[in-house]
């Protein structure tokens, strides 16, 4: 059985230091990560993310993220969408200040009472959003909940036992080795893609295998001359995975 990591929510907080609202985002995110939802969240470092941090970007491709921005520039949300995927939810501190009719926060390093109140409200908003997202089956490709579909019954077929290992990028995204044309090929995120399709009820029929290949090619190079071989071995691997999951 594929040992998939527990789904967590990535928190991407604004790194701006020019505004008090930027400090609010970071303190609110820290409160969620350390106190409110420590077992359900991970931090995604925005400067490292922008600089090309493979681990952070890989995580944000496959798991839901919440961007926390201080102002209308929405740097965290825009960066997440540009380099990985659309955030599952975007929160802006200024919107919350207006919604709750708070005083304007003051202080870049040491917030005043209005700023601390904004931290508490923002942290609660993040925590509630985390809870909401974790109740949903998540489409890691499209950044939205997965709808279920009905597909005709199929029969199992023998397939090579998958070999699973943690991705070396440190993101916790698993990889799977598949033998293609006599050569072992490591495919990033394959167990998660299989899980996504299985949760959506997408049985390994031809139509869904085509969609499966399209998803795999988002994250992995597939040589054009070997695409047919890739498709056949991926089909077998998914067929094996499907019936193992349904047989639990």
Question: Could you read off the pLDDT of 95-123 as tens digits, one per residue?
Answer: 999 999 999 999 877 899 999 999 999 99
186 with 138, same domain: the answer is no
Helix, strand, coil proportions of the chain in percent (round to 5)? 45, 15, 35
What pLDDT score was predicted for residue 245?
86
**C-alpha distances in Å from residue 94, one per residue of 22, 69, 89, 218, 229:** 10, 8, 15, 35, 52
132 with 194, same domain: the answer is no
Q: Which domain holds residue 170?
A: 163-246
Q: Is 152 part of a structural domain of the chain?
A: no
**Structural domain total, the chain:** 2
- Return the bridge partners of 67, or none: 12, 90
What pLDDT score was predicted for residue 195?
87
pLDDT higher than threshold 60 for residue 207: yes
> Model-level pTM?
0.56
pLDDT higher than threshold 90 for residue 93: yes
CB-hemisphere CA count at 13 Å for 126? Answer: 38
- Residue 105 or 150, more confident: 105
Average pLDDT over residues 75-86: 82
Q: Is 157 part of a structural domain of the chain?
A: no
């Amino acid at each position: 059985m594929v040992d998939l990591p527990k789904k967590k929510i990535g928190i991407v907080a604004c790194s701006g230091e020019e505004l008090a609202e930027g400090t609010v985002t970071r303190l609110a995110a820290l409160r969620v990560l350390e106190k409110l939802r420590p077992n359900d969240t991970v931090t995604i470092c925005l400067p490292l993310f922008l600089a090309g941090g493979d681990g952070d970007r890989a995580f944000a491709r496959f798991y839901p993220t919440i961007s926390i921005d201080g102002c209308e520039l929405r740097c965290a949300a825009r960066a997440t969408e540009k380099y990985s995927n659309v955030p599952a939810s975007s929160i802006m501190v200024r919107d919350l200040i207006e919604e709750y009719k708070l005083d304007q926060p003051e202080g870049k390093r040491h917030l005043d009472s209005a700023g601390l109140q904004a931290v508490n409200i923002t942290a609660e908003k993040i925590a509630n959003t985390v809870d909401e997202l974790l109740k949903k089956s998540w489409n890691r490709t499209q950044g939205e909940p997965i709808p279920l579909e009905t597909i005709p019954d199929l029969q199992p077929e023998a397939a090579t036992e998958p070999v699973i290992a943690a991705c070396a990028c440190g993101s916790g995204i698993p990889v799977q080795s598949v033998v293609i044309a006599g050569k072992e090929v490591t495919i990033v995120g394959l167990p998660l893609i299989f899980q996504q399709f299985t949760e959506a009820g997408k049985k390994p029929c031809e139509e869904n295998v085509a969609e499966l290949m399209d998803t795999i090619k988002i994250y992995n190079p597939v040589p054009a001359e070997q695409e047919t071989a890739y498709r056949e071995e991926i089909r077998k691997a998914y067929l094996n995975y499907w019936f193992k999951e349904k047989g639990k």
